[in-house]
Amino acid sequence: MTVHPRGVNHLAIATRDIKTQIDFFTDVLGCELKALYWMHGAEGAWHAFLELNPHSYIAFVQHPDNPDTLTWGLTHSGTPTGPVAAGAMQHVAFDLESVEDLLALRDRIRSRGVMVIGPVDHGFCQSLYFGGPEGLALELTTGEAIDDQAWIDPEVVALAGITPRELARYRDPAPYERPDVPVAQPALDRGKPHLNFPDEIYEILATASDEQVRAMLSDTTPPVTPHD
């Protein structure tokens, strides 16, 4: 059986005002606050989780060094179609079960004084668009599974430089069977995707076992002991 991610557990968004983000997502969208604590491994930073479902959250990170500069078209897109720096979030869409749910949330958002565009019919989904605090571009959507036979445009495939063989591979990624012996950590190759840690951190990661890394970085104690 091929293993691949089954969904988004959480999307972590930087903030300078975590209270305003929490207030917006609880009041305007009805999400429940499930966690708010000192972020593990990040001195001075707070981490908040708001529940979309028990396996999916929108999260916020308030770091004391988060810059307060907002530049449309660079740090933020500002709209669902606007430009933004490569690797940044252009917009985020939250899934709903039905058009009725979509319309119910549309009315809730408007009742809080926030403008909403839509629903817009995209063929495979119906969507609403609105803004969130600190320049967030947000979407609510509902729809069916996307039919790749109808929605992969040959013109765009060609413009993206994708060959027919590559397209076949993208549509049906090769299966991968986990070997009996765990795969060793590869040496750092800065030509491949990597996190922005300094070389000395990568030297530790390259020589430490997975168990040692787990012991060094894990923090499982909640800030509050739940009462029975």
Distance CA 103, CA 17 (A): 29
Distance CA 107, CA 104 (A): 5
What's the number of domains the chain is made of? 2
pLDDT in tens, 163-214: 999 999 999 999 988 899 988 888 888 888 888 888 888 888 888 888 998 9
40 shares a domain with 139: yes
pLDDT in tens, 26-64: 999 999 999 999 999 899 999 999 999 999 999 999 999
226 band by pLDDT with thresholds 50, 70 and 90: confident
Q: In the prediction, which pLDDT does 203 show?
A: 85
Share of the chain above pLDDT 90, in %: 76
Residue 130 placed within a domain: yes
Cα-Cα-Cα-Cα dihedral of 93, 99, 103, 108, to 10°? -50
Q: Does position 228 have pLDDT exceeding 70, yes or no?
A: no
| Host domain of residue 170 | 147-176
Q: In what order do the strands lie in the sheet with 10-15?
A: 10-15, 56-62, 46-53, 32-38
Q: Residue 187 is encoded by which pair of tokens?
A: 């040496």
What integer best gives the mean pLDDT of the chain? 93
Residue 39 placed within a domain: yes
